[in-house]
Structure 1
Amino acid sequence: MATLRDVGDAAKGDKRGRRGGFKAETNVFKIVKMIMERNLAPVIVFSFSKKDCESYACAIA
């Protein structure tokens, strides 16, 4: 639990670039990567923006 809490603190507020696009590795990507590395899957990640969902899916794929 402490690991997820630490990652959650780092995930507050996605960093957007100057033109509104996402930087290379977002906090969501880092969280999903950590979950997969530690075999904590399955997991559901919510994003309330369709544009962000598509960006995250492309980054993970």
Structure 2
Amino acid sequence: QQVYGNPIVVWILSIIIKVLVEMLIEWWRNRENTRSAIMECSAVCNAAGASLDHCFE
């Protein structure tokens, strides 16, 4: 008895894969935005003479 012979298992796997792909795309977009935000934030904090940790408080 093969796992892929069960349509319910195939349906659940397809949903899981779809959700994972969407999460990966969202994470990638957020990562790009976060990286630029952290660089801007660190530049502002360095200009103000503050530490990077203080910036996230």
Q: Give the TM-score taking structure 1 as reference length.
A: 0.28
- Higher relative contact order by CA 8 Å / sep ≥ 6: 1 or 2? 1
Q: Greater share of helix residues, 1 or 2?
A: 2
